[in-house]
A and B are shown apart, each in its own frame.
Chain A
């Protein structure tokens, strides 16, 4: 058995290696690996959620528990808290890979780096953006969000959090080679999050006032598409720079 195994593999060693690579397999392989890693360290999922809940709790305590007041600021508070929770989870996006050397392997693998980056961003969204979106309606109840706003809150977060993960990946890639990154990452990325925040909260507020939100959602969708196309490319280029930092 041993012998045949070696021969099988080494038979190909000499001469041309036929193209056996598949970018789709690399994408799913990286996806599986990163999901498995998160599954082994479940606190990575729980911590952003805890942060989200605590941050939202601070607003009634810090400003006023008045239901009418809270219902007015609910959309903004939930969105800002979700945005910060995403941001804080971002600096670990490439850090482990950088430290253990697997980032180099990603970069020199025979695949477009942007595809592999996209796979990592997808994992990030699955373990932060999606749980945040699912938790948000619960916190919205505590913030007295008007009933009409719930559906829109859910949809805007569903559309907006992937954009946040994508844009954030650029910042994470730019700062991954640096020694201290925490605040710098925030400084780089928060201004870029502003449009998503404006249209996310705008939609929820509009819905709560019984207005049409399709326009908002279309714009959020457009931002997502732009980020989906451009952010992995930018993040890939940034990773290559960071590897030489």
Chain B
């Protein structure tokens, strides 16, 4: 079992193999993403019950929450991929990490934006220094840091390694940042109601949310594979198999 995994891991390290296998996976993940997102959106927007306090405006959580969850998971994924690239010198892992950053930053931005839109009817202001929003904002800065560092190096290899270290440092810091921001938040503004942590959300509300979260993950997987494939073509353009691939088209 373990041997099999090691063999798989090694094959995954070959850009060519990765390119081929993900080419087969993309349609499946893409289709799953479309289905889940469609079902989740219709269910969440049209059929889930209204919130007794916030009415219909709560429905934005069907985008806000999945985006926020994704934003954090992607940072972890980026750090893990970066760490693998750093330790095992695996090119594909570097490329995966590099492809993660812009998607993660976009998700963070979406979470912030939807949070602001939701904040207007709820708090009466576009921006409130709510613990979740503040953490998201800092996460966005962390993403920007990683992206800026990636583009600052001339050598792609050094860029990948340096940003891997930064994202690993970031991952160690994210829980500390989250904890401090939450603590700071309770200090400065005694808990108003927050977007999600409700006393027991009814099933009809969180089930579509779950569907949306799954849909977002599938979407992320699809986009990540597509970006990584592009990255592979770009970095491996001088190898025979890419040349062959290009001449076929």
A interface residues (Cβ-Cβ under 8 A, vs B): 170, 174-175, 177-178, 184, 187-188, 190-192, 194-195, 198-199, 202, 223, 226, 230, 234, 237-238, 241-242, 244-245
Q: With the chains together, A226 CA to B138 CA distance in Å?
A: 20
User: What distance in Å separates the Cβ of B148 from its nearest Cβ neighbour in chain A?
Assistant: 6
Q: How many residues of B contact A (CB 8 A)?
A: 31
Since A188-B148, A234-B169, A242-B162 are in contact, a sample of 8 more A-B pairs with Cβ atoms closer than 8 Å, ordered by chain A residue number, is A178-B153, A187-B148, A190-B141, A194-B138, A194-B180, A202-B184, A223-B176, A242-B158
A191 touches B145 (CB 8 A): yes
Q: With the chains together, A187 CA to B142 CA distance in Å?
A: 8
CB contacts under 8 Å to A, within B159-183, are 161-162, 165-166, 168-170, 172-173, 176-177, 179-181, 183
Residues of chain A with a CB closer than 8 A to B177's CB: 191, 194-195
B173 touches A184 (CB 8 A): no
A188 touches B181 (CB 8 A): no
Instruction: Name A197's closest neighbour in chain B (CB-CB).
Output: B180
Asked whether A195 and B176 contact (CB < 8 A) given A170-B169, A241-B162, A244-B155, the answer is yes
Q: With the chains together, A187 CA to B149 CA distance in Å?
A: 9
Query: Which secondary structure dominates chain B's binding surface?
Result: helix
B149 touches A245 (CB 8 A): no
Query: Which secondary structure dominates chain A's binding surface?
Result: helix
B180 touches A199 (CB 8 A): yes
Instruction: Name B151's closest neighbour in chain A (CB-CB).
Output: A184
* A-B pairs with beta carbons under 8 Å apart, 24 shown: A170-B166, A178-B153, A184-B149, A187-B144, A188-B149, A191-B173, A191-B177, A194-B138, A195-B177, A198-B180, A198-B181, A202-B183, A202-B184, A202-B187, A226-B176, A230-B169, A230-B172, A234-B165, A234-B169, A238-B165, A241-B162, A242-B158, A245-B153, A245-B154
- B152 close to chain A: CB less than 8 A: yes
Residue from B157, B168, B169, B170 whose CB has the most chain A CB atoms within 10 Å = B169
Q: With the chains together, A98 CA to B8 CA distance in Å?
A: 41
